[in-house]
Structure 1
Amino acid sequence: MTAIPIHLLSGFLGSGKTTLLNRVVDYYKAQDIKVAIIMNELGDVNLDGQFVEQDVPMAEMLSGCICCTIRGDLSIELKELIEEHRPDVVIIESTGAANPMEIIDAITEAALFMRIDLRTIATVVDGPELLARSKRGGRTFKLMQDQIRCATDLIVNKADMLAPEELVEVQQLVRGLNAFAPLTVTVRCMTDLAMFDLTAAPKAKPDASAQRLHDSAGSDHVCGANCNHDHDHTRTHDHDHAGAGYVSHAHVMTLTHYFAGPVNSHAFEALIKSLPQEVYRAKGIVTFTDTNSRFLFQYAYREVEFIRITPQGNVSDVAVFIGEHFAKEELEKELHKLENQCWEEQV
């Protein structure tokens, strides 16, 4: 039995991974290649899955990250997906808060149960956000650095939002972290997708020649040729093995809010635009009292976009917020206030 190619899409929240995923799916379908997808979200609802065509087999891993809290489920999801749908290729889109090396470990575990071949670790880099984070450092910047270091292919996205000298600075930052992976500069992830060709030779990945370390918890951690990050896990990844599940993105918080009914579009947009800086990503599906349509909204780094949609099946109105140490209770109160205001207007 031929090993099924696996492609991992990595990159921080809002970088453009789902846009790339859709381009790759279309690329495969044009060649009559059967593709299956595993999508991972920290929240309780997979909203990015709304963008993917309905005839593509998909497994959703929600309310946790592949690399830790639901890591053991990845092998099961992969096995069931492959056995049921017999795809030619599988794409895994990880949550933006995940360290790719931990996901690589999880995929390696899955390889014990089935014939799979991790071909590509494509990291989508949010150019403007990397530049901004590099000025102030912090855990998120360290995570972005790890995502870049562990890539077999690099896509520096949102080039249209950078001045020429800023774009040069971003490329220098990326190259300083990973000098080996092919690098492409893009707008909306428009790039040559040959890296995903099934006939292409497998890229460098963790194997017998990889450097294997033994961490304080007693589990093996495998690093490939392109991953040269500091292996002091108690510092670089902020793992506290003595604690209860504190991992590299434990500072990332999520809030999932299900709406009781339609809300006013102007009031909702005002709420989104007034979100604190600590909330760097939000997305959801909403129905407005002053329109006849439902919308999928995307918010990343102070910019919000609304897309008119007709969801398939029974899809609830919901909003998911992702950030670092933001006041979840206060935001929940504002959302309830928005709902109550709309209810009062209707009465």
Structure 2
Amino acid sequence: MKDVYLLSGFLGSGKTTLLANMIESLKEQGLKPAVIMNELGELNFDSQAVEEGIPLKEMLNGCICCTGSENTEAQIQGLLAENDFDVLLIETTGAAHPVEALDAVYSPLFADQLNIKGIVTVADSKRWLMRHEMTPQTRSLFLEQIRHAHLLLVNKADLLTEQELGQVTYELQALNPNALIVQTTNAKVPYSFLNKIQATARPTDIEKADIGHHLHLSSRLVDFTDQAFTQEEIEDWVRSLPETVYRMKGYLPIKGNSKPMLFQYAYGLTQWMPEFIKMPPKLVIIGDGVDAIPLPTTTL
């Protein structure tokens, strides 16, 4: 399986510097990186940070989490088919919500080939101290990027006094008590911290998560081969789920249908669409603690 890291954070926080540092760290570990860079404009000036010889896909004019989600899926499929790599690094735009970015990346078509290590969020420590000057919408997204991180970098630590750095670190830990927090300058983080995080739930990950397995925001792939349900049974199951299940998408085997149906769930609403080719009966679930939620059952 290929490890995947999503790099999150506001424009100017240090994401591209982190990307360059992570590429160097992975190469030192003997691992081959590949990169997807997402930018809202027509030109991606940051792509020069990726050295020649590293597989690179660029997504322009669209956020990875909304209009670009299908493009993201196509880019990942292209990388998997065309390139030999060990770790995929995805630099999201400053406008990407982490849950939606994770949703765009984790498709049921190739979920069994990817191990989502987690979201690495670069938090600009100076910006944090001035967050009350942001517009409400901007501040809300800033807080969401921090709250859903698996590894949180308190970046530009060299620009703060010791007292300010302590205050920022304490406040960020209070906002996201599940994340590993590292104080950084120039987004330099040891590989050992990157390797500790884990956001893909596995069948054996049903015990309480420890420091090495942060499954507060995680992805779970469920295979429904040799099972079938009615739509009513799935809808009943959805109504029983906790609010911490944010997204689901995949292909569900429905009784009476020769081919699994496309199923999507977001914000409490479900969507069903018929498929005309036989897709693998797999469902991706994204949320907090999804490794422990019960799966749907069927009556004979």
Give the structure-1-normalised TM-score: 0.59
Counterpart of 2:54 in structure 1 is 56
Residue in 2 aligned with 1:121? 119
Matching residue of 1:95: 93
- Pairs aligned (count): 224
Counterpart CA distance in 1 for 2:57 and 2:17 is 18
Shift of 1:193: 1.9
Aligned to 1:109: 107
Letter in 2 for 1:215: Y
Following superposition, the deviation at residue 198 of structure 1 comes to 9.2
Cα displacement (A) at 1:175: 1.4
Alpha-carbon distance in 2 for matches of 1:76, 1:63: 16
2:63, 2:30 → 1: CA distance?
Answer: 31
Which whole-Å deviations, capped at 9, do the CAs of 1:206-240 have from their partners, x for residues lacking one? Answer: 337983244266469832349xxxxxxxxxxxxxx
- Give the match for residue 245 of structure 2: 212
Q: Give the equivalent residue in structure 2 for 1:39.
A: 37
Q: Give the Å deviation of 1:203.
A: 4.2
Q: Tell me the secondary structure at the aligned position of residue 53 of structure 1.
A: coil
Q: Is the 8 A contact 1:120 1:195 kept in 2?
A: no
1:64/1:193 CA distance change after superposition, 3 Å: same
Which amino acid is 2:158 matched to? D
Matched residues in 2 for 1:19 and 1:93: separation? 11
Change (3 A) 1:98 1:221: farther
Q: Which runs of 5 or more residues in structure 2 are unaligned? A: 199-211, 222-240, 247-265, 272-283, 291-300
Q: CA deviation at 1:150?
A: 0.7
Decide whether the 8 Å contact of 1:206 with 1:222 is kept in 2: yes
Contact 1:207 1:224 in 2 (8 A): no
How far did 1:103 drift? 0.7
1:63 Cα deviation after fit: 0.6
1:21 matched to which residue of 2?
A: 19
Q: How many angstroms apart in 2 are the aligned matches of 1:111 and 1:145?
A: 31
CA contact (8 A) 1:10 1:121 kept: yes
C-alpha separation between the residues in 2 aligned to 1:22 and 1:99? 22
Give CA-to-partner distance per residue, 1:258-293, whole Å, 9 cap, x none: xxxxxxxxxxxxxxxxxxxxxxxxxxxxxxxxxxxx
1:7 maps to which residue?
Answer: 5
Once the two structures are TM-superposed, the CA of residue 108 in structure 1 deviates from its matched residue by 2.1
> In structure 2, what is the Cα distance between the partners aligned to 1:154 and 1:101?
15
Change in Cα spacing, 1:63 to 1:115, as seen in structure 2 (3 Å) is same
2:152 aligned residue: 154
Aligned to 1:253: none
In structure 2, the CA distance between the partners of 1:225 and 1:171, relative to structure 1 (3 Å rule), is farther
Matches of 2:100 and 2:36, distance apart in 1? 16
Q: Tell me the CA shift for residue 25 of structure 1.
A: 0.5
CA distance in 2, matches of 1:153, 1:88: 20
Indicate the larger mover: 52-61 or 131-140. Answer: 131-140
Amino acid paired to 1:107: V
* Pairing of 1:111-190 with structure 2 (within 5 A): 112=110, 115-134=113-132, 138-190=136-188
CA offset at residue 171 of structure 1? Answer: 1.5
Structure 1 pair 217–70 and aligned structure 2 pair: CA distance change class (3 A): farther
RMSD after superposition: 2.6
1:192-203 to structure 2, matched below 5 A, reads: 192-197=190-195, 203=214
Residue 288 of structure 2 is aligned with which of 218, 221, 224? 224
Q: What is the Cα deviation at residue 131 of structure 1?
A: 1.4
Deviations 1:38-76 (A, max 9, x none): 010011111111111111110001111000011111111
Q: Any idea what SS the aligned residue of 1:207 has?
A: strand
Deviations 1:306-329 (A, max 9, x none): xxxxxxxxxxxxxxxxxxxxxxxx
Deviations 1:148-192 (A, max 9, x none): 111111100001112222222211221121011110111111221
Residues 198/123 of structure 1: CA separation in 2 closer, same or farther (3 Å cut): closer
C-alpha change, 1:199 and 1:187, in structure 2 (3 Å) is: closer
Deviation at 1:114, TM superposition (A): 5.3
Percent identity reads 35
Gaps of 5+ in 1: 227-347
